[in-house]
């Protein structure tokens, strides 16, 4: 059973690997034996994640990269191939939201700035599509590999306020299915593409929506979410690792084109 989840020798590229969830995935994959290339825009956070992996005798490198810039991605691909010689797994973990692209009592839908909505759509959707082109080409050439996209609960059930973010994540679900079919039909039956849809985790992008910035107490939105989460808590970053390991390892070798909720039951509960 252990061998099904073993990633020893596998080379993983993870975008957004310096974020709260991405860092936890990077550490978890390294502990499973993978060689991890951590992509991010913050050199301090990049070094923190990489050094944490190296301190536990893992194998990792950090690469500064903006996933919305193809020239950055091509350079990052060259660096990974120069270091490890191949790429086996791509995790598209980069994403995020902006308060200015989110409706609120003080900001109506009609006042959301076009440039901020564009930023959210581009980061989440194009920040998944472009790496899938650049790194996916390696998988197509070798005729095997795995892509794991990070979607969101906002993609499965439209949530109030996060209009651009939810739409972008819904597009990722569609892209996940499209890529799964495209790679199988055109390149190899040994390339799989799936997605994770995390429920509600306290991350940098949504903390201001779920907890009060001054007191740390739950906002009305945060209370409503917990009331509609049967397990009664927010997710912890480590809660994603097991499902991610399943989806990128041989344990799921006949699984492709699906979106897996990791949400404490939120998507199953009608509220009554």
Domain-located, residue 219: no
CATH number assigned to the domain comprising residue 114:
3.40.50.720
Is residue 165 annotated as a catalytic residue, yes or no?
yes
- Does the pLDDT at position 1 exceed 70? no
Domain-located, residue 225: no
Domain-located, residue 227: no
**231-240: pLDDT as tens digits:** 999 999 999 9
| Confidence at residue 270, expressed as pLDDT on a 0 to 100 scale | 87
Region 142-171: mean pLDDT is 96
Domain-located, residue 256: yes
| Confidence at residue 202, expressed as pLDDT on a 0 to 100 scale | 80
CA distance 45 to 53: 13
| Confidence at residue 31, expressed as pLDDT on a 0 to 100 scale | 96
How many domains, in total, are found in the chain? Answer: 1
Q: Is 107 exposed, middle or buried (0-12, 13-18, 19+ CB in 10 A)?
A: middle
Band of residue 215 on the pLDDT scale cut at 50, 70, 90: confident
Band of residue 190 on the pLDDT scale cut at 50, 70, 90: very high
Band of residue 205 on the pLDDT scale cut at 50, 70, 90: low
- Does the pLDDT at position 179 exceed 90? yes
Domain-located, residue 39: yes
13-17, 85-89, 206-210 — which is least confidently predicted? 206-210
Which position among 84, 165, 187, 208 bears the catalytic label? 165
Domain-located, residue 152: yes
| Confidence at residue 239, expressed as pLDDT on a 0 to 100 scale | 96
- Does the pLDDT at position 214 exceed 90? no
Q: With helix as H, strand as E and coil as C, how does the chain read? A: CHHHHCCCCCEEEEECCCCHHHHHHHHHHHHCCCEEEEEECCHHHHHHHHHHHHHCCCEEEEEECCCCCHHHHHHHHHHHHHHHCCCCEEEECCCCCCHHHCCECCECHHHCCHHHHHHHHHHHHHHHHHHHHHCHHHHHHHCCEEEEEECCHHHCCCCCCCHHHHHHHHHHHHHHHHHHHHHHHHCCCCEEEEEEEECCECCCCCHHHHECCCCCCECHHHHHHHHCCCCCCCECHHHHHHHHHHHHCHHHCCCCCCEEEECCCHHHCCCC
Band of residue 165 on the pLDDT scale cut at 50, 70, 90: very high
CA angle, 206 then 72 then 237, to 5°: 30
Region 93-101: mean pLDDT is 93
Domain-located, residue 55: yes
> In which domain, by residue range, is 6 found?
2-199+235-263
Domain-located, residue 212: no
Tell me the pTM. Answer: 0.94
């Amino acid at each position: 059973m252990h061998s099904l989840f073993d990633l020893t020798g596998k080379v993983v590229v993870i975008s957004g690997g310096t974020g709260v969830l991405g860092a936890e995935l990077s550490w978890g994959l390294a502990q499973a034996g993978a060689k991890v290339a951590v992509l991010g825009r913050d050199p301090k956070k990049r070094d923190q994640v990489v050094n944490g992996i190296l301190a536990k005798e893992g194998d990792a490198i950090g690469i500064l990269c903006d996933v919305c810039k193809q020239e950055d991605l091509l350079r990052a691909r060259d660096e990974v191939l120069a270091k490890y010689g191949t790429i086996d797994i791509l995790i598209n973990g980069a994403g995020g939201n902006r308060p200015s692209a989110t409706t609120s009592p003080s900001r109506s839908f009609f006042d959301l700035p076009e440039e901020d909505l564009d930023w959210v759509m581009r980061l989440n959707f194009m920040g998944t599509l472009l790496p899938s082109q650049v790194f996916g080409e390696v998988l197509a050439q070798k005729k095997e590999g795995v892509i794991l996209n990070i979607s969101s609960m906002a993609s499965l059930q439209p949530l109030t306020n996060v209009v651009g973010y939810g739409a972008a994540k819904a597009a990722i679900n569609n892209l996940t299915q499209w890529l799964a079919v495209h790679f199988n039909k055109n390149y190899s039956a040994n390339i799989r593409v799936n997605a994770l849809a995390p429920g509600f985790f306290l991350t940098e992008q949504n903390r201001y929506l779920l907890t009060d910035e001054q007191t740390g107490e739950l906002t009305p939105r945060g209370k409503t979410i917990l009331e509609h989460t049967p397990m009664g808590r927010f997710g912890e970053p480590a809660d994603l690792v097991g499902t991610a390991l399943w989806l990128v390892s041989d344990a799921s070798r006949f699984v492709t084109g699906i979106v897996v909720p990791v949400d404490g039951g939120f998507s199953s509960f009608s509220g009554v």
